[in-house]
Amino acid sequence: MALVRITGLTKYFNDHKAVDNISLATREGEFLVLLGPSGCGKTTLLRMIAGLEKPSSGEVVIGGRVVNDLPPRVRNIAMVFQSYALYPHMTVFKNISFPLRALKMEKEKINEKVEWAAQMFGIEQLLNRKPRELSGGERQRVALARAMVRMPSVFLLDEPLSNLDAKLRASAREELQQFQRQIGITTIYVTHDQVEAMGLGNRIVVMNHGKVRQIGTPWEVYHEPADTFVATFVGSPPMNLTEQGDVLVGFRPESFLPLEVNQGHGELKQFEFEVSLVEDLGGDRLIYGRLDEQFGRQRVVSRFAPNINFPIEAGRTHLFTVPEGKVKLFDRQTGVRIEKNIPAGEPDGRD
Amino acid sequence: MDAIETAPKAHFREYWDRRRILAPVMISPALLYIVALVGFPFVLAILYSLSDATTGNPSIHFVGLRNFATILHDPVFIRSLENTFLFTFVSQALVVVLSSILALALSEDFRGKQVVRFLILLPWTAPISLGAIGWLWIFDSVFSPMDWLLRAAGLLGVPHGFFGADSNLYWLGRPILAMASVIVVQTWRILPLATVILLAGISAIPNEILDAAAVDGASFWRRLFQIEIPLLLPVISIAVLFGVVFTFTDMTVVYVLTRGGPINSTQVLASWAFFVGIEAGDLGQGAAVALFLFPVLAGGTALVLRFARRREVA
C-alpha cells in the first residue's frame, strides 16, 4: 500500500489554469473522493496522479517516490475510466489479463489471478465474451477486475458509475465500497455527484475552479462547510443563504423548521416564512417560500422529515426557526466561513 | 423564426421530408454516372470478350470462349498475369507498412505537423501522369539524378563500384530494376491515400482506450501490436482493398515508365489489355485480358468488405 502526496500541483492548458496549486495527501487505505462540478479540474488532477498528464509545476509522490517524470506503467497504479475503456477486440479474459501479460507473468499465474479477480466480481461466466456482448453493469465489473487483478498500490476511479442507470448505480456503489474495505487499497475517486461522494468517501476533497475548497469527512463537509461554494454544492436542496448586514447567514433546509417543531433545541433564530409551495416527495416534504423584508425576501427551502406532521399550506406565513448551533455565518465578500476556523484545503496525512 | 414566417414553407418542407421522393432524387446522379461510365463499358467489355470484334470491324460476332482460350496459351499474357500479382502484392505490402508508420507518426503532436501532412498528400493531388513523367526523369538512362548521386558517392561508375563499373544503372532498361522502379512509383502513388485512411482510423480509436493501455502497463510495442493495429485492422483492410483494386486495374505507371518493357518484364494485365485491344486492334482479346481477373477481384472485394463490416460491429 502506498500514500499519494501532492504538493503545489498546477496544470495549465495553454492559458487556462485547470489545476491551481493543489496540495493534499491520502491516508493509508483511505477512500478519498474528489468532488466538484464539471470543469473544476478533478479529472485533470486524477490524470496527473496516473501519469497521463504532465504537471506544469508541483510534485506527485507515490509511496515516497517522486513520480513526476515516470510514465504511468511504472507507477503501479490502476485506473477505471468513465467509459470503462475495455479493449473491444479482446475477450473479457484477455482484457483482465492484459496488465499481467504486460508484466510478462507466467501463464499459470495469469490464469490463477484472472480467476481470482473474476470470482471477486462475479464475472467468471463471462470470461469468453467480448465487451460488446456485455451489459453496462457487467462492463463496469470487468473494468474493475482488470484494474484490480495485479493489486496496484493505488486505485484511481474516474466517474465509474456515471454510465449506469440510477438503480444499478446504487447497488454498484454499495459493492464498490464493500470491496474497497475488503481489499484496503488506497483509492482516489472522482465524481460530480455529491450523493456518491457522501456515501463512498472516508474524506471528500471539494474542488472548484481548479482549487481545493475544503477537505474533510462527509460529516464535516456537510455540517461545517468552509465556504458558500461547499455549502451550496453539497446537499440537495443546498444550504439556504441569506444576507444580514455584512454576513451571509446559512442554514440547512432540515434545520429550518416551524417554531413548534424546533422548540426544546436550545436557542433559536427566528424567521417569518411565507410559504409558496409544498412538495410532497413521498417521504420528505419540501417547503418553498420567502423570508420577510428584513432578509430581503430571500427564497429559501425547508425540508420536513417524514416524522414531522406539522400541518402547513401554501399562501400562509409561519414562524420558522433554526437552532443557533446550526446557523453558519459566511463573509459576504469572500464567501468564507467566519465564526469558526475550518481547515480549508490543508494537506493532511503527513504522518 | 416565428410560426407565421415559416408557415408558407411548411408545404415544401413536408415535400422534402418524404423519403420516398427524396431518396431516389438524391441517389439518381450517382446511379446515372455509374451506369454510363462503369456499367455500360463493363457490359460492352463482356460482349467484346466473347466476340471477334476488332477496331477495324467492331460489330459483335460471338465466338464463345475462344478469346480466353487463346490468351491462356499466350506466354506474354502469362507473364503479365505473374507480373500483375508481383506488382500488386509487393507495392501494397510496402504501402501497408509505410502508411501505418506514417499515420502513427502523424497522429502524434509535433511542430510542423500540418506541413508534413500536406507534403505527404501532395503526390495524391498531382495528376498521376505528370508525377510518372517526373519519375521518368529520375530513372533516365543517362541523366538519372539517382545515378548521379551514386556516382558522386563512389558507388557507381568506378572499377569495383558497389553498383558496377558502368556509368549508369539503366533503371528502366534492366528487367529486375525496371520492375523495382514501377513498384516504387506505384507505392509512392498509393501511399498518401492509405495514410489518410489510416489517420482517420487512428483518430477514431477512443483516447480512453490508449490511456487504459498506458495505465495497464503496456509498452510502446505492446500498445502498437495488441491495441492499435488490431483496432485498425478493419480500416487497414479497406485501405488495402482500395490499393489492390487501383493497382490491379491501372496501367498509368507502367505505360508511362516502361510501356511494359524491357521485353514485357513489367507488362501487367491492364497495360497488356491496352496494347492488344487498342494498339493492336484486337478488341475481343483485349477485353478478355482485361476481364480475366474480374472474378478474383470481385470475390476478394466481397470478402474484405465483409470482414471490415464484421470487425466494425465488434
* DSSP string covering A153-195: SEEEEESTTTTS-HHHHHHHHHHHHHHHHHH--EEEEEES-HH
Q: Which of A223, A254, A270 is the C-terminal boundary of a domain? A: A223
A251 falls within a domain: yes
A290 falls within a domain: yes
Residue B211 has a pLDDT of 92
* Chain B residue numbers touching A47 (CB-CB < 8 A): 211
Whether B230 and chain A come into contact, CB under 8 Å, resolves to yes
Distance CA A222, CA A238 (A): 10
Residue A2 has a pLDDT of 64
A21 falls within a domain: yes
Tell me the average pLDDT across A130-137. Answer: 89
Going along chain B from its start, the domains and CATH numbers come out as 74-313 (1.10.3720.10)
Domain holding A29, by residue range, is: 4-223
Residue B28 has a pLDDT of 92
* Cβ contact B213–A98 (<8 Å): yes
Q: How many domains does chain A have?
A: 2
B173 pLDDT band, cuts 50/70/90, is confident
Q: Is the pLDDT of residue A314 over 70?
A: yes
C-beta neighbour count of A196 within 10 angstroms: 21
Closest CA to B292 of B84, B131, B148: B84
Q: Are the C-beta atoms of A287 and A326 separated by less than 8 Å?
A: no
Whether A91 and chain B come into contact, CB under 8 Å, resolves to no
Residue B105 distance to chain A (closest CA, Å):
19
pLDDT digit string, tens, across residues B75-107: 888 888 888 888 899 999 999 999 999 898 888
Q: Which of A172, A195, A223 is the C-terminal boundary of a domain? A: A223
* Chain B residue numbers touching A101 (CB-CB < 8 A): 222
Is the same domain home to A24 and A126?
yes
pLDDT digit string, tens, across residues A29-45: 899 999 999 889 999 99
* DSSP string covering A120-152: HTT-GGGTTS-GGGS-HHHHHHHHHHHHHTT--
Is the same domain home to A327 and A184?
no
pLDDT digit string, tens, across residues B53-78: 777 777 777 787 777 878 788 888 88
Give the CATH number for residue A249: 2.40.50.140
Whether A153 and chain B come into contact, CB under 8 Å, resolves to no
Residue B1 has a pLDDT of 45
A340 falls within a domain: no
Quote the percentage of chain B above a pLDDT of 90: 13
Distance CA B179, CA B87 (A): 8
Whether B312 and chain A come into contact, CB under 8 Å, resolves to no
Is the same domain home to A185 and A246?
no
Q: Are the C-beta atoms of B205 and B228 separated by less than 8 Å?
A: yes
Q: Are the C-beta atoms of A155 and A77 separated by less than 8 Å?
A: yes
Is the same domain home to A215 and A104?
yes
Is the same domain home to A286 and A182?
no
* Chain A residue numbers touching B219 (CB-CB < 8 A): 73, 102
A26 falls within a domain: yes
Q: State the burial class of residue A221 (Cβ atoms within 10 Å of its Cβ: 0-12, 13-18, 19+).
A: buried
Please state which of the ranges A49-53, A75-79, A314-318, B163-167 shows the lowest mean pLDDT.
B163-167
DSSP 8-state symbol, A246? T
Residue A309 distance to chain B (closest CA, Å):
49
Distance CA B256, CA B34 (A): 27
**Closest B-chain CA to A129:** B314
Q: Are the C-beta atoms of B190 and B95 separated by less than 8 Å?
A: yes
Is the same domain home to A124 and A218?
yes
Q: What type of residue sits at position A339?
A: E
A345 falls within a domain: no
Q: Is the pLDDT of residue B235 over 60?
A: yes
* Cβ contact B214–A71 (<8 Å): yes
Residues facing A16 on adjacent strands: A13
Is the same domain home to A154 and A69?
yes
Which residue bears the cell 504511468? A72
A344 pLDDT band, cuts 50/70/90, is very low
Is the same domain home to A314 and A202?
no
| Model confidence, pTM | 0.78
Is the same domain home to A152 and A268?
no
Distance CA A324, CA A267 (A): 6
Whether B310 and chain A come into contact, CB under 8 Å, resolves to no
* Cβ contact B314–A89 (<8 Å): yes
Give the CATH number for residue A173: 3.40.50.300
Is the same domain home to A299 and A218?
no
Residue B28 in grid coordinates: 439518381
Distance CA B145, CA B65 (A): 48
Q: Are the C-beta atoms of A105 and A182 separated by less than 8 Å?
A: no
C-beta neighbour count of A328 within 10 angstroms: 25
Is the same domain home to A164 and A259?
no
Counting one residue from chain A and one from chain B, the pairs whose CB atoms sit within 8 A come to: 66
Q: Are the C-beta atoms of A61 and A5 separated by less than 8 Å?
A: yes
A262 pLDDT band, cuts 50/70/90, is confident
Is the same domain home to A104 and A30?
yes
Output the CA torsion sign for B227, B231, B235, B236.
Answer: positive
A341 falls within a domain: no
Residues facing A17 on adjacent strands: A12
C-beta neighbour count of B264 within 10 angstroms: 20
Q: Are the C-beta atoms of A234 and A221 separated by less than 8 Å?
A: yes
Residue A35 has a pLDDT of 94
Q: What type of residue sits at position A245?
A: G
Number of helices (H), then strands (E), belonging to chain B: the values are 17, 0
Mean per-residue pLDDT over chain A, rounded: 88
- The upper half-sphere exposure of residue B214, i.e. CA atoms within 13 Å in the direction of its Cβ, equals 14
- CB contacts under 8 A, A 181-240 vs B, are none
Residue B266 has a pLDDT of 84
A234 falls within a domain: no
Residue B286 has a pLDDT of 83
Q: What type of residue sits at position A142?
A: V
Q: Which of A165, A188, A223 is the C-terminal boundary of a domain? A: A223
Distance CA A139, CA A95 (A): 11
Closest CA to A59 of A15, A11, A104, A16: A11
CA distances A169 to A131, A136, A196, A202, Å, are: 19, 10, 9, 19
Residue B2 in grid coordinates: 416565428
The ipTM value here is: 0.82
Residues facing B155 on adjacent strands: none
* Cβ contact B231–A88 (<8 Å): yes
The DSSP H or E segment spanning A87 is: none
Residue A114 in grid coordinates: 484472472
